[in-house]
Amino acid sequence: RALTVTIFQGYWCMEYSGCLQILKNALTCILLIRWSLLLTVLAYSVKTTRRHDVHLSDKKILLLEARPKKVSNQLPKSYSNRVSAITPGSATLLSSFGAWDHICSMRIKPFRRMQVWDACSEAMIIFDKDNLEDMGYIVENDVIMSALTKQLDAVSDRVEVLYRSRAVGYSLPLPYKTSDSSPWIQIDLANGRRLQTKLLIGADGQNSIVRKAAGIQNIQYQYGQSAVVATLHLSEATDNNVAWQRFLPSGPIALLPLSDTVSSLVWSTSHEHASQLQRMDEESFVDSINSAFWSNANHSDFIDTAGSMFRSAVSLLMPSGTAARQLPPSVAKVDPKSRAVFPLGLGHATEYVQHRVALIGDAAHRVHPLAGQGVNMGFGDIACLRQLLSAAAFNGKDLGSLKHLLQYERERQKHNLSLLATTDLLKRLYSTNIAPFVLLRTWGLQATNAVPPIKVRFFF
């Protein structure tokens, strides 16, 4: 029987599960995973009513976690500065094994409107509940992990967790059979224990060791930018169900709702400016945020006039395609010690699969946060690979076979490359205040905003 193991040392909860055999022991299902990736265990270990999944859900799973166990009976009062924008599709995946109910019972903030606008013109695009009933949900990463932990506890009879354990070496088999070689991937642990598996699913982040061990090349580009994140308190309570994003010449700034009075900041800017923002006193930092959302210092009369004329022409052709601009909330203060900075870049593995190896999540792709799709791309990888491996198990196939692994690669690369290219293009198009480019994107954004069907496709 083909068996699977997932390794992850990265950040988001976006992995897959499987089975492993412990060397010199009876067959046992094992999943190697960091604490943040318990979704993987549940995606495979929890029995469902779907006919394929029953062939994977009867396996015992062992989780290896390098860090000590984190025990938390309740969430802290303060919000985390690391959040995810969860799409309805990802919420459906989390609902399929009960994690979404736990998330909803803790802390979650739905947003029903998204306003994106240009700092160099009056151009904007608005997504609202008239176009998409449930646009998405802002959830702290800690909340997602806590929910997955509760689900893991519910299947403790099938899932064993070994804390303070980590993999230190991998030995991959040859793609062809020989008399003196093993068909198994061997995994050495820091404590001297050796595991072996027929399929290794690597989800160990942008610096994936699994990817390097498999000899898979990674195309990457550093944007020369950093993202500044922080937890912000608004000047006054509102419904706060709008996700705001403004494109500044230095990079996009986003304000994501966490509650009626609290929002999360993601500000992409140059390394130097990010460092300045991190060092600022609270008052200067708050003033910089409000100015970034409200100031028209980058406007020009020429662009504003040309944009106004184009907008008037569009409104004559499609009167229902226009929408009123909503003013963003004012920020009053920042949570102490919530400011953090991390570098931004683009990355994509030239291959997602090789003989008995598959990559998912950040190990396969890295995207700019302006679209808020990084975690959802990982969830998409999960859904695709889960379906293909479940079908393989149902049909008695080897889970490590390249046949269905290549199908996973084709399906996910088609989707992920498109999203990576679009996001990279938007980042470059909006990272300038040169008049011709500003005018081009102004007209493009206004035209897109006027056609709801295109707008919905653009959002997804």
Structure confidence by residue, pLDDT tens digits, 74-89: 788 899 999 999 999 8
pLDDT tens per residue, range 107-116: 999 999 999 9
- 157 lies in some domain: no
pLDDT tens per residue, range 320-355: 655 677 889 999 999 999 999 999 999 999 999 998
The answer to whether residue 73 scores a pLDDT higher than 60 is: yes
pLDDT tens per residue, range 95-111: 887 889 989 999 999 99
Q: Please indicate, yes or no, whether residues 213 and 287 belong to a single structural domain of this protein.
A: no
pLDDT tens per residue, range 21-63: 333 332 333 344 344 444 454 444 444 434 445 666 655 566 6
Q: Please indicate, yes or no, whether residues 406 and 453 belong to a single structural domain of this protein.
A: no
The answer to whether residue 318 scores a pLDDT higher than 90 is: no
Split at pLDDT 50, 70, 90, the class of 220 is very high
Q: Please indicate, yes or no, whether residues 46 and 175 belong to a single structural domain of this protein.
A: yes
51: helix, coil or strand?
coil
- 116 lies in some domain: yes
Q: Please indicate, yes or no, whether residues 306 and 256 belong to a single structural domain of this protein.
A: yes
Structure tokens, 193:
């224990």
- 389 lies in some domain: yes
Split at pLDDT 50, 70, 90, the class of 12 is very low
The CATH number assigned to the domain holding 321 equals 3.30.9.10
Q: Please indicate, yes or no, whether residues 105 and 246 belong to a single structural domain of this protein.
A: yes
Q: What are phi and psi of 409, to 5 degrees?
A: -60, -45
User: What pLDDT, on the 0 to 100 scale, is given for residue 403?
Assistant: 82
The answer to whether residue 136 scores a pLDDT higher than 80 is: yes
Q: Please indicate, yes or no, whether residues 277 and 312 belong to a single structural domain of this protein.
A: yes
The answer to whether residue 144 scores a pLDDT higher than 90 is: no
Find all residues with CB under 8 Å of 457, minimum gap 6, and list them.
Answer: none
The CATH number assigned to the domain holding 402 equals 3.50.50.60
Average pLDDT, the chain: 80
- 174 lies in some domain: yes
Cα distances (angstroms) measured from residue 343 to each of 13, 170, 182, 207, 366: 20, 29, 41, 13, 12
Angstrom distance (rounded) from CA 186 to CA 182? 9
Q: Please indicate, yes or no, whether residues 177 and 322 belong to a single structural domain of this protein.
A: no
**Rounded average pLDDT over 366-382:** 89
- 155 lies in some domain: no
User: What pLDDT, on the 0 to 100 scale, is given for residue 30?
Assistant: 37
- Domain count of the chain? 2
Q: Please indicate, yes or no, whether residues 64 and 45 belong to a single structural domain of this protein.
A: yes
The range of the structural domain enclosing residue 112 comes to 93-143+223-341+433-459
**Rounded average pLDDT over 408-430:** 93
- 118 lies in some domain: yes
**Rounded average pLDDT over 111-126:** 90
Q: Please indicate, yes or no, whether residues 247 and 129 belong to a single structural domain of this protein.
A: yes
- 251 lies in some domain: yes
Q: Please indicate, yes or no, whether residues 242 and 297 belong to a single structural domain of this protein.
A: yes
Q: Please indicate, yes or no, whether residues 276 and 334 belong to a single structural domain of this protein.
A: yes
- 292 lies in some domain: yes
The answer to whether residue 306 scores a pLDDT higher than 90 is: no
Q: Please indicate, yes or no, whether residues 263 and 377 belong to a single structural domain of this protein.
A: no
Within 325-460, strands assigned E span 331-334, 340-349, 353-354, 357-359, 365-366
